[in-house]
Each structure stands twice: as structure tokens, then as C-alpha cells.
Amino acid sequence: MATAVKTSPRTVISRPLNHGIGLPLLAVALLLIHISIPQAAPYTSKFLLLSHRQPSTGLYSIGHGDVCFVLFKVLTLASLREGCMKYLLAPFARAMGVSKERKVIRFSEQGWILMYYSVFWPLGMLIWTKSSHFSDMDQLWTDWPQRDVDGLMKFYILTQLACWIQQVISVNFEARRKDYWLIVVHHFITITLILVSYVYHHTRVGSLILVMMDAIEILFPFAKCLRYLGHTTLCDVLFCLFFITWILSRHVLYLMTCWSVYSDVPRIIEQSCFMGSADDLHGPLPVPDDWWHLIEPWLYPNVLMMLWFGFICKVAIGVLDGRAADDVRSDDESDEEYQRTELEEGSKSFANGSGWQKSQLQPGRSVRCNGAAQIGNGGKKELTARSMAKKG
């Protein structure tokens, strides 16, 4: 007598996500609705296009429609990340000789970060180099508040905000590192600072700090990808460049910007405060006695960066001692333990109809590979015997 298999609502909901199709389907569905149903365009356009354009100037203001745009960007970035990792980066890693599935997944994660920042760091640099504050930091605060911004600046800030929100989500679907909580705290602080800089019309300084922070987001994942591919010498060279860039961008230029808040803001920004839209201002309102309410939030990330700098120095000392540059924030689970658990649970995972995608959706657990699950009982025993022979 056949036994009925109970399917929980959570399984029904998560099954499309396990196969990597749920998020792209949502994005495509919204796009199709926007194209095929003109009556829905006033609502769907808030998700697909920038909102609150001022016809008289061509600039964009802040509004509730920005929330819809950010939500859709989170969905889009999550879909792109999933697609690039599964169909582009993972096959590339295997083709280049990366055999362990754990390294394939790590390569894919770092490869996606490299792809994203290879686009958005140059875009941020373009905005900065064409701005009035490129060579004069006083211009960061001149004519504040800049209530309206051009479309490129608004797109850049909101997409970066969506990226960091998406990273908060994805970091919980990956194998946890030793600095997991540092990463989570850093992500929430970054999201808060981007929001504050946007809402309070400090997009100039907000975009500048993003450019400073994103400089190392190209070098570090690139170095890690090279290491996964076995190019340890190139990895060490890139690590040295990463080390120098980290110090200059995060401990020199960043602190110079914080100093500008302390020294330039009281001198340049008028001691007055207003509320409301540009057409309906209320004020002037009472202002604080000092400017620590502005500079203090920007110092919080510096505390985390100093902690990470300690990790970096450990790696640098290892490189000077002749060892390869390796990320000391290794996963909580060792490779040996991973391989053992992989053999034990791989077949169970595929018996339930799930692959490595399902393991990604289990926070706090390492990702399991489908290669181990495809090994039959004989292959499993053979691998176990080989492992025991090596230990013996």
C-alpha cells in the first residue's frame, strides 16, 4: 500500500526557489504586466523606472516610489546573482579544473561580487570625476540641501542600496564564516548610512564613500577567484595591491572625509534646518549645538574596518613568511568535515528532489554538492575506503 507523502506549504513555496526559477519568474511577470496591460503602467512603472522626475528641471526628487524601485532592484540583483552563479560561473570553475563543489560555489559567490563591482565601481568613479567635488571637498557641502539629483546619481544610489539589502539576504544562504556577525552588522550599518545620505540630501558624500569602499570589492574577490583556480602567485600579487588600496581608501581617504564633516560642515552649511518638500518648506527649525550627530555614524564602519584590518594583517604576515595569501576568515566547517558530511547527506538530498540550491536556502549550513549525491553505493564505499586508506 502506497504511503501518501505530505507536502508542507513551506515546501510548495520553496520548491521553485530550490530550482532557481522563482525570483526570475517574478521579475519577468512584472515586466510582462507592464508591457501588456497599459492600465497597470502607472503602478508597475514605479518598480521599473525612476520616479518623481521634475519636468521643469529634468532632475529627480525623493518620494515613496523609490521604495518600489529598490524592491524591484533587490529582486533583479538576486535573480542575476542566481543565474550567473549557476549557469555561468559554476560551469566556468569546473571547466578550469576546480573539482570540489564547495570551492565551485565559493568561486561563484566571489565571481558574482567581482562582476557587480566591475560595473558599479567604474560608474561611481564616473559620477565622482564629473562632479564639482572631485578636486574640492568643500563642494561636498556647498548648496546643501541638494534636494533634486540627476537620474544617474539616483539610479546609482538606489541600486547600491538594493545591492546591500540583497547581500543581507544572500549572506544567510551561504556557509557561515567566522566573521559572519561582523558582516551582518557592517551590512546593516551600510544600508542605514546610504538611506540617511539619500533622505537627508547628502548624496554627494554618500556616493563618494561608496566609491572609496567599493575599490577593494574588485581586488579581493578577484584574488580569491585566482586562488580557487590555483594561481597562487597572481593571488599574492593582487593581495599586495588589495592591502595598499585598503589602507588608502578605508583608513586615509575615508577618515579625510570624516574630518571634512567635522571641519568643513560648520563652516559651509548655514545654521538652519527646514522640513518638507521644496514647494512647502517649514522652518527654520532649531539645530543641534554641534556636528557630532553627523560624524558619529560615519565612524561606526571604521571600527569594523579596523577589526577586518587585523585579519588582513595576519594574511600579510603569512605572505611575508612565504605562505600563500589565504582568507583567515575560513568557514566554520573544515574541508574534511565537509567531505564526510557531504557523503553522508548527499544521497538523502537528491532522494528528496533537491540539489545544491536547497542547501543554499538553509542558513548557517554549508552548501552540499550534487556530485557526491550522484555517487552510487559502490562509489560511496570506494571513496570512503580511499579516505580511510589515506588516513592509515
> Any idea which of 140-154, 215-229, 304-318 has the lowest mean pLDDT?
304-318
Q: Give mean pLDDT, residues 33-61.
A: 86
The least confident of 61-65, 210-214, 310-314, 318-322 is: 318-322
Read off the pLDDT of residues 130-144 as tens digits, 9 standing for 90 and up: 998 888 888 888 888
Say if CB 131 and CB 163 are below 8 A apart.
no
Q: Please check the confidence at residue 379 and state whether its pLDDT lies above 70.
A: no
Residue 380 has pLDDT above 50, yes or no: no
The C-alpha cell that represents 280 in the structure block: 512647502
Q: Is the full-model pTM beyond 0.85?
A: no
Confidence tier at 277 by pLDDT (50, 70, 90): low
Segment 342-346 shows an average pLDDT of 43
Distance, in Å, from the CA atom of 304 to the CA atom of 322, rounded to the nearest integer, reads 28
- Dist. CA 280–CA 261, nearest whole Å: 28
* Among 233, 235, 231, CA closest to 243: 235
Q: Residue 286 CA to chain centroid, in angstroms?
A: 38
Q: What are 72's three cell numbers? A: 524591484
CA distance 144 to 102: 49
pLDDT digits (tens, 9 = 90+) for 235-253: 889 989 999 999 999 889 9
